[in-house]
Chain A
Amino acid sequence: MTIEEGAKFVAAAYAIILAVLMLYYVLSARRVNTLKRDVQLLEQEVQRRQIGAGGAGGE
């Protein structure tokens, strides 16, 4: 097998590794952002309700 032929396989292998890792990184980064936003929204909602109910309700 020549270097050129081998290079194709090597390139394919590294491309897959890079693609999967990048994809995973991006997806999990997006998850973090969405969840952070959700938490913020929910916390606001909880606060709003607590004010509305005069501090009633635990946790």
Chain B
Amino acid sequence: MKQLVSAPVLFVGAGIFLVTGLLLAFLYAPIDASTMGYSQKIFFYHAPIAETALVAFGVAFVAAILYLRSQDPRWDRLGVVSVRLGLVFSLLVMATGMIWGKAAWGTWWDWEPRLTTFLLVCFLYVAYFVLRSVVEEEQRRATFAAVFSIIAFIDVPITFFATRFLPAGMHPTVITMGGTGMPGSMFVSFFISMIGMTLLLVALIRRDLAVEELKDRVADLKNSIGG
């Protein structure tokens, strides 16, 4: 499965989709007629990145379950790598979300359910790395990280749901993701960007997995020389 598609092909594929999505977003999709205006163009990468971040955490969740079942360190590596990438994407979501907020609503931060959820997601997965950093013994670190990763991923939708209980923010107009409000041309460009981002995630996960494997290999070799 691993050798099915080589890394460069993945990166190039991701690049093609992303550029196409971007071009379509700017040239093909109409400018949003509502208050958002032109700034709505941010959406074409913002939402795919958000989706990709969640996919990354989902991958970590699955990897965690598989790790607990098999105790195979490869699943742990996949977990770390996915969480790290998920975190990078989440930070991008927050950054672009804030810029968008400023453009559309004139404020950098709004306690809007989605943004708030992503803020908590960032805290959660930073905590994941804090947890990893305070356990020395490797199996134990992997086990605890897996348990936490499972709990955290379960918590994400729950948190999102809970933020709905908060009193409505000042800006109730949020893009509804369901295809209903989206013109076809918009949807096409959005969808292509989404594929691109997901491909990019896969490519980066593979690359980072190679990094982790090499790191372990170096540690093993050092160990065998030192001992």
Contact = CB atoms under 8 A, between A and B. Distances in A.
Q: Do chains A and B touch in the complex (CB under 8 A)?
A: yes
Nearest to A12: B99
B218 to A, nearest CB: 5
Interface residues of B, number: 35
Contacts of B214: 32, 35-36, 38-39
A16 B99 contact: yes
Nearest to B85: A24
SS class of chain B's interface: helix, strand, loop or mixed? helix
B41 interface: yes
A28 B218 contact: no
B210 interface: yes
A13 B45 contact: yes
A3 interface: yes
A17 B39 contact: no
B225 A46 contact: yes
Interface residues of A, number: 32
Contacts of A14: 22, 42, 45
B217 interface: yes
Nearest to A31: B211
Given A3-B31, A35-B211, A35-B214, A46 B92 contact: no
A41 to B, nearest CB: 9
Interface of B: 11, 22, 31, 37-39, 41-42, 45-46, 49, 88, 91-92, 95-96, 99-100, 102-104, 200, 204, 207-208, 210-211, 214-215, 217-218, 221-222, 224-225
